Amino acid sequence: QITLKESGPALVKPTQTLTLTCTFSGFSLTTSQEGVGWIRQPPGKALEWLALIYWNDDKRYSPSLKTRLTITKDTSKNQVVLTIDNLDPVDTGTYYCAHRLRGTAPPTYYMDVWGNGTTVTVSS
Amino acid sequence: QSALTQPASVSGSPGQSITISCSGSSSDVGGYNYVSWYQQHPGKAPKLMIYDVTYRPSGVSNRFSASKSGNTASLTISGLQAEDEADYYCSSYSAINTRVLFGGGTKLTVL
C-alpha cells in the first residue's frame, strides 16, 4: 500500500524560503519509472502542478515557477523535498505530494496516490 | 484564469447522467491523449478518476467514463449518486513549455 505524508511549516513570512518534505512508503524511488510530484491549491481555487522527480533524478518543473522551485530526493529516507524561494502571500495554500501512476510513459503526470496535504500561510 | 476551461458548476438528480467539459487547445487537450480527471471532496485530497483520456484506475466505478473530441475532453458520470457530489478537475499535458495544466474545476451538485 502506497502512502505519502507532507510536512513543513504552517506559517512563513514573505521573501522567506519554504521547505516541504514528503515522506512516503510502499514504493522506492530507486525503482524504474517511479516518480513523486508536488501540486498545490490556493484556498477555494484550482489545483496547480508544481514539480515532479523521477527515479533517475530527472526533474520537471512548472515553467512559471521554475526559477523558484527545487525538488530533490533522499532515497535512503524515502523522502522528496520541495523548496520554494522568495515566498509571497499568493503562495498560500495547501501543498500535496503525490505518487505518479506506474505504467504510463512520460510525459504523463498522472498522480494516483496523494498525501492529505499540508497547509501553508505566507504572511508577515 | 486556468488554461483549461471547465464549467463552474453542473448539477443532476440521483440516477441521472451528467457531463463535464474541459476545453483546451491543439497544444494540450487536442494534441495529445494525455488527459486526466480528478475528483475532490471538500477538505480532501484529489483522487485520480480517469487517465489517458478514457482509462479508469483500478477501483474507480465504471459509472465514470470519459472521451475527447478535438480540443475538448468530457467526463460523464452515469447513475448519479449523492457521493459523487464533489469538485472535478481536468488535467492535460501541454507541449508549450512541457507543462501540466489543470482546469478551473467544476462543482457537481447532486440535487
How far is the C-alpha of A101 from the C-alpha of A14, rounded, in Å? Answer: 34
Q: How far is CA A69 from CA A17, A75, B86, B98, in A?
A: 10, 20, 30, 16
Q: Do B100 and A111 touch (CB under 8 A)?
A: no
Report chain B residues whose CB lies below 8 A from the CB of A35. Answer: none
- pLDDT tens column, B6-39: 999 999 999 999 999 999 999 999 999 999 999 9
- pLDDT tens column, B66-84: 999 999 999 999 999 999 9
SS (H, E, C) chain B: CCCEECCCEEEECCCCCEEEEEECCCCCCCCCCCEEEEEECCCCCCEEEEECCCECCCCCCCCEEEEEECCEEEEEECCCCHHHCEEEEEEEEECCCCEEEEECCEEEEEC
Residue B85 reports pLDDT greater than 90: yes
Report chain B residues whose CB lies below 8 A from the CB of A107. Answer: 34, 93, 98
**In the A/B pair of chains, how many CB contacts fall below 8 A?**
59
> How much is the pLDDT for B1?
58
Could you tell me if A92 lies within 8 Å of chain B, comparing CB atoms? no
Q: Do A112 and B89 touch (CB under 8 A)?
A: no
Which residues 59-88 in chain B show a CB within 8 A of chain A?
A: none
Best residue of A109, A113, A116 to probe chain B, by most B CBs closer than 10 Å: A109
CB-count exposure of residue A70 (10 Å: 0-12, 13-18, 19+): middle
> How much is the pLDDT for A108?
83
